């Protein structure tokens, strides 16, 4: 595939007349990276049946007189060995909220948990998945603080909104305001905030943001990333009057990032994180890399090598709660990946809640409501999104997987453990790469005291 022409085509679609100059700047970023890193593996990113990914925060394990990342490395070595070969380190950067997903500085390791040296040492034993939290950044970040000061470089790094604009068509994953007021040196502004007041959305219609992110991803490769998770990537392009979710422009950005890595670091893969219905989710595998639609299963797509299999969790819960495998079986029989180098990332628990949007079209409204009712019965909670008509509906179930499967009020330890292990066995048996959340490995229960302390479910 001619990656240069592929990138140029996407740039032309996104930025028009600026595309030639932008390609030259991207080429310069790639060349500088290659000059510094001429010893990286040249083979393409590959997955095998031996791949398994542990999902964990960097500070999940703590021991005296050493960094949390070193404690994590010790735990992995002593308890897991070669049972897993990849580790997804949830955001380990300095942050201001949302357990790491409101990043203050993309290029630093949170000193409370360790150093870049700790990350690099961990990458010598395990393939590491880094988080690229590129839809938004903390209001405490240097970028946003410079915007508030009126620094001309950062003037268009964020999305300003006229508060009188009709934004009812925009998809909302939260029941929170879509924009927030900030005071700048130029007066009061209203900035786009998809997820929270502390998470300010980046403006990808400004090509400088794309250049920043390309340089950032290559920095992550340089520091040990073999897989890069594009967090909330479906939201990265906004157009008033649309849902601003999964727009063609968002897919074009992913295509550019994939092509850049194919040139500069082909051994590094991309995984897209898009909590949406299955039919939309699988579009993030992209188009055939060669543009040949006649091939039934060409070798490679032009977007993510892996996508999160969000539908699996609600289907697993439905199956165990009802004793009816019909919905799960029917769905599994429809699954296939379009390219030889692509795979589903199968997971049923993570740092997030259990999303219900991916169950749409697979379970009826009544069956989805039954999952909500069961979650509440088992001591969990539900988080809501705002719909276009102003109403609210459940977006995620907030509950640990163990308690989602087993009613704590009627705990039968032997049966509960058997049910839980059976759920994991289904996940592990499906084609794709299993993602094992650390709290599934430990069988964690709901922590109501934690909710009371933090106010977060």
Give the CATH number for residue 68.
Answer: 3.20.20.80
Q: Could you report the per-residue pLDDT of 53-98, keeping only the tens digit for each?
A: 999 999 999 999 999 999 999 999 999 988 999 999 999 999 999 9
For residue 81, the model assigns a pLDDT of 85
pLDDT tens per residue across span 238-288: 999 999 999 999 999 999 999 999 999 999 999 999 988 899 999 999 999
Q: What does the alpha-carbon distance between residue 349 and residue 271 come to, in Å, rounded to a whole number?
A: 17
Q: Residue 141: inside a domain, yes or no?
A: no
Residue 386, helix vs strand vs coil: strand
Give 402's pLDDT tier (boundaries 50, 70, 90).
Answer: very high
Is residue 297's pLDDT more than 60?
no
Interhelix angle for 413-429 vs 312-322, to 10°? 140
Tell me the residue ranges of DSSP E strands in 176-268.
179-184, 187-192, 199-201, 225-230
Q: What is the pLDDT of residue 191?
A: 98
Domain count of the chain?
1
295 pLDDT band (50/70/90 cuts)? very low
> Quick check: 366 pLDDT over 60?
yes
Query: What's the burial of 384, exposed, middle or buried (CB within 10 Å: 0-12/13-18/19+)?
Result: middle
Q: What digits encode the pLDDT tens for the residues 118-159?
A: 999 999 999 999 999 999 999 999 999 999 999 999 999 999
Does a structural domain hold residue 186? no
Which residue spans within 62-106 are E strands per DSSP?
86-89, 95-97, 102-103
Residue 291: what pLDDT? 63
Q: 247 to each of 15, 51, 124, 171, how far by Cα in Å?
A: 15, 31, 38, 12
> Measuring CA to CA, which residue among 231, 279, 26 is closest to residue 133?
231
Question: For residue 357, is it within any domain?
Answer: yes
Do residues 86 and 127 lie in contact, with contact meaning Cβ atoms separated by under 8 Å? yes
Domain that residue 120 falls in: 3-132+206-454
If you ran DSSP here, which 8-state letter would residue 60 be given?
Answer: S
In a domain, 201, yes or no: no
Query: Band of the pLDDT at 294, cuts 50, 70, 90?
Result: very low
Q: 193 in a domain, yes or no?
A: no
Is there a domain that residue 199 lies in? no
d(CA 247, CA 341): 24
276: in domain:
yes
Per-residue pLDDT band at 413 (split at 50, 70, 90): confident
Q: Cα angle at 372 between 378 and 367, to 5 degrees?
A: 125
Residue 231 among the catalytic residues: yes
Question: Residue 181 falls within a domain, yes or no?
Answer: no
Query: Which is catalytic among the residues 51, 201, 231, 302?
Result: 231
């Amino acid at each position: 595939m001619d990656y240069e022409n592929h990138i140029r085509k996407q740039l032309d679609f996104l930025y028009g007349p600026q595309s030639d100059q932008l390609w030259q700047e991207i080429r310069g970023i790639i060349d500088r990276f290659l000059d510094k890193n001429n010893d990286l593996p040249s083979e393409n990113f590959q997955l095998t049946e031996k791949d398994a990914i542990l999902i964990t925060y960097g500070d999940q394990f703590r021991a005296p007189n050493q960094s949390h990342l070193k404690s994590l490395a010790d735990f992995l070595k002593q308890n897991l060995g070669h049972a897993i070969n990849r580790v997804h380190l949830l955001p380990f950067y300095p942050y201001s909220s949302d357990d790491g997903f409101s990043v203050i500085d993309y290029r630093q390791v949170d000193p409370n948990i360790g150093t870049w040296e700790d990350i690099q040492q961990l990458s010598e034993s395990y393939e590491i998945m880094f988080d690229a939290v590129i839809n938004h950044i903390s209001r405490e970040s240097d970028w946003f603080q410079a915007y508030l000061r009126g620094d001309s470089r950062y003037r268009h790094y964020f999305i300003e909104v006229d508060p009188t604009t009709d934004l009812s068509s925009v998809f909302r994953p939260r029941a929170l305001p879509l924009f927030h007021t900030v005071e700048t040196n130029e007066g009061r502004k209203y900035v786009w905030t998809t997820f929270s007041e502390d998470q300010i959305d980046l403006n990808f219609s400004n090509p400088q943001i794309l250049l920043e992110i390309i340089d950032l991803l290559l920095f992550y490769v340089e520091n040990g990333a073999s897989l890069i998770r594009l967090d909330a990537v479906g939201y990265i392009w906004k157009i008033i009057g649309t849902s601003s979710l999964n727009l063609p422009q968002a897919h074009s950005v992913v295509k550019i990032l994939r092509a850049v890595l194919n040139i500069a670091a082909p051994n590094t893969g991309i995984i897209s994180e898009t909590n949406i219905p299955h039919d939309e989710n699988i579009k993030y595998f992209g188009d055939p890399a060669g543009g040949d639609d006649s091939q039934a299963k060409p070798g490679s797509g032009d977007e993510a090598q892996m996508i999160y299999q969000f539908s699996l969790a609600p289907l697993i819960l439905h199956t165990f709660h009802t004793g009816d495998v019909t919905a799960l079986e029917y769905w599994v029989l429809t699954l296939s990946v379009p390219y030889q180098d692509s795979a589903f990332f199968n997971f049923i628990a993570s740092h997030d809640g259990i999303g219900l949007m991916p169950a749409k079209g697979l379970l009826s409204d009544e069956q989805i409501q039954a999952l909500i009712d069961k979650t509440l019965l088992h001591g969990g909670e539900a988080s809501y999104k705002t719909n276009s008509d102003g109403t609210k509906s459940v977006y995620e179930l907030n509950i640990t997987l163990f308690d989602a499967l087993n009613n704590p009020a009627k705990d039968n330890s032997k049966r509960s453990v058997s049910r839980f292990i059976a759920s994991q066995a289904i996940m592990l048996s499906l084609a794709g790469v299993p993602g094992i959340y650390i709290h599934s490995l430990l069988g964690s229960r709901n922590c109501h005291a934690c909710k009371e302390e933090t106010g977060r479910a």
